[in-house]
Amino acid sequence: MAEAKTYRNFIDGEWIESSSGSVYGHHSPADRGDLVGTFQDSQTADVEAAVEAAARAFRRWRLVPAPKRAEYLFRMAEILVRRKEEYAREMAREMGKPLREARGDVQEAIDVCYYIAGEGRRLCGYTTPSELPNKACYTTRMPVGVCALITPWNFPMAIPSWKLIPALVCGNTVVIKPATDAPLSAYHLVKIGQEVGLPGGVINYVTGGGEPVGGPLVRHAKTALVSFTGSSETGRRVSVACAESFKRVSLEMGGKNALIVMDDARLDLAVDGALWGAFATAGQRCTATSRIIVHKKVHDEFVHRLVERAAALKVGDPLDESIDVGPLVSDAQLKRVMDYVQIGRDEGAEPRLGGVRLTKAEYGRGWFFPPTIFTSVDPKMRIAREEIFGPVVCVIPADGLEDALSIANDSLYGLSSSIYTQDVNRAFVAARDLETGITYVNSSTIGAETHLPFGGTRRTGNGHREGAAVTALEIFTEWKTVYIDYSGRLQKAQIDNN
């Protein structure tokens, strides 16, 4: 294995060390002896330098025509296409996502770049007739300013692209702080931005912990917007900090997503969706299937099939093409999952599969936990209500559609939901009544597409929709209404027009 590389911060177009000279090593979650790289352990002074650089660059970047800004993003997509396999392999090593899922993560960044590049030739406002003669009215979008982008480790390239690419096409400049557990994929995205010639200061990249980097970044007077993806607890603190200075804030946080299986469902298809939803990325997705609500008529048969199929999933090295489930991202995440499994046992739920850390020789150097299925779960149990963020799923029986919808909606979160049924009427009722930002019919709770809004209700978010749909433009721009009076006299709206 090649010697691990040291990665620097990117500030004002230069790769530089942290002001203190401190660094931290990031190890692969599949093998804690594998040093992926050494990254800057940044502090407030580094954040200050990055925000100041972004503020200076904003004055110039906002004046670059949007179609020209978009051309940089299109070229970024072209480079990502060529390096997709390289970046996917490094992502799998960096945070444990199986290789085929890592390829999908990079592909999502590619899709975002291509899609948002097209928006550079739109960024549409609208015109409308004035109520007064010889007067024109129209609207236009203005960039917000310096955007602080705080990104998670579970989609280490896709989610940074959701934030970075729309922010740039709208004329903003950014400071991005990636998760300490996955800083390399965001580094690659920033490096590509440099390669395509983005002016210095337009993108700035600072690594380090939440309090020494994230805190000063959120509170900085010149940060106009904070876009955060992570836990609801941290998101609440971000929101409170932004409220003090009326900063714009976009939050995408947790989920406790329910997949409903009705008595007329195709069980083979429902099991496929449940396996993918519950155990992809080892359950470390905000859209992961955490609850499966099954009609009592098919409950036992569904559980039998689910346990049988889940037991056959292969856990191991994410760089192995045959692997279905990789490791958890860290020792802390492993401990969290193990604690919740014990809570489930203590509450009286029955672990039908898994529930014990994998410790054999092939797993001993990483943070591996097997697919785990609980039955005999009451909807009021903690494991049925709190986000676990691991390969653990609860199966809950329901009397019928109304009962299933009631159980699904009884949650602090509202991100994703799913129903399996062959009855079109049930499907439309569920699509109407499930209180989530995303609903799937006869598909899993995961699998969002980049050109559609992504986000949820209640503790999942604060009403914004990022992803890369046109709704992202609402976050990263301000509306301006323009009135042009060419009458040659003072006209008073509402007063002269009565």
- Over residues 477-485, the mean pLDDT reads 97
CA separation for the pair 263, 274 (Å, rounded)? 15
Residue 139, pLDDT above cutoff 70: yes
User: Residue 315 carries which DSSP code?
Assistant: B
Strand arrangement, sheet containing 23-28: 5-7, 31-40, 23-28
- Over residues 201-210, the mean pLDDT reads 96
Q: Judge contact between 434 and 408, C-beta under 8 A.
A: yes
Residue 274 confidence (pLDDT): 98
CA distances in angstroms from 386 to 181, 287, 413, listed in the order given: 22, 14, 9
Strand arrangement, sheet containing 127-129: 127-129, 135-143, 477-485
CA separation for the pair 45, 11 (Å, rounded)? 12
Residue 171 confidence (pLDDT): 98
**Please, what's the largest Cα pairwise distance for the chain?**
85
CA separation for the pair 88, 340 (Å, rounded)? 31
Domains of the chain and CATH, by start: 5-253+461-481 (3.40.605.10), 257-441 (3.40.309.10)
Residue 279, pLDDT above cutoff 70: yes
Which tokens sit at 413? 């979160």
Residue 165 confidence (pLDDT): 97
Could you give the residue ranges of the DSSP H alpha helices within 434-487?
A: 471-476
- Over residues 228-240, the mean pLDDT reads 93
Residue 468, pLDDT above cutoff 80: no
Residue with tokens 């009722």: 429
CA separation for the pair 368, 278 (Å, rounded)? 15
Q: Which residue has the higher pLDDT, 390 or 4?
A: 390
Strand arrangement, sheet containing 223-229: 14-16, 9-11, 203-205, 173-177, 146-150, 223-229, 248-252
Residue 3 confidence (pLDDT): 73
Which tokens sit at 373? 């299925």
Residue 106 CA neighbour count, 13 Å, CB half: 29
Residue 487 confidence (pLDDT): 96
Residue 160, pLDDT above cutoff 70: yes
For the range 118-125, what are the long-range contacts, defined as Cβ-Cβ under 8 Å and sequence gap of 24 or more? 118/70, 119/70, 119/166, 119/169, 119/470, 119/473, 120/66, 120/67, 120/68, 120/69, 120/70, 120/71, 120/73, 120/169, 121/66, 121/67, 121/70, 123/66, 123/169, 123/170, 123/473, 123/477, 125/479
Residue 1, pLDDT above cutoff 60: no
**Could you tell me the pLDDT band of residue 361, with boundaries at 50, 70 and 90?**
confident
Residue 332, pLDDT above cutoff 90: yes
Residue 463, pLDDT above cutoff 90: no
Residue 365, pLDDT above cutoff 60: yes
Strand partners of residue 203: 174
Residue 331 confidence (pLDDT): 96
Helix (H, G, I), strand (E, B) or coil at 115: helix
Number of H-type helices and E-type strands within the chain = 13, 22
In the chain, % of residues over pLDDT 70: 99
Average of per-residue pLDDT values in the chain: 96
Q: Convert the pLDDT of each residue in 173-188 to its tens digit.
A: 999 999 999 999 999 9
- Over residues 263-281, the mean pLDDT reads 98
pTM for this one?
Answer: 0.95
Residue 369 confidence (pLDDT): 97
Residue 2 confidence (pLDDT): 59
- Over residues 13-18, the mean pLDDT reads 97
Residue 29 confidence (pLDDT): 97
Give the pairing of strands 223-229 and 146-150.
Answer: parallel
Q: What is the CA radius of gyration of the chain?
A: 24
CA separation for the pair 219, 495 (Å, rounded)? 44
Strand partners of residue 353: 373
In the chain, % of residues over pLDDT 90: 92
Give the residue numbers marked as catalytic. Answer: 252, 286
- Over residues 462-474, the mean pLDDT reads 81
Contacts of 403 (CB under 8 A, 6+ apart): none
Q: How many residues does the chain have?
A: 498
**Could you tell me the pLDDT band of residue 130, with boundaries at 50, 70 and 90?**
very high
Residue with tokens 């903690």: 382
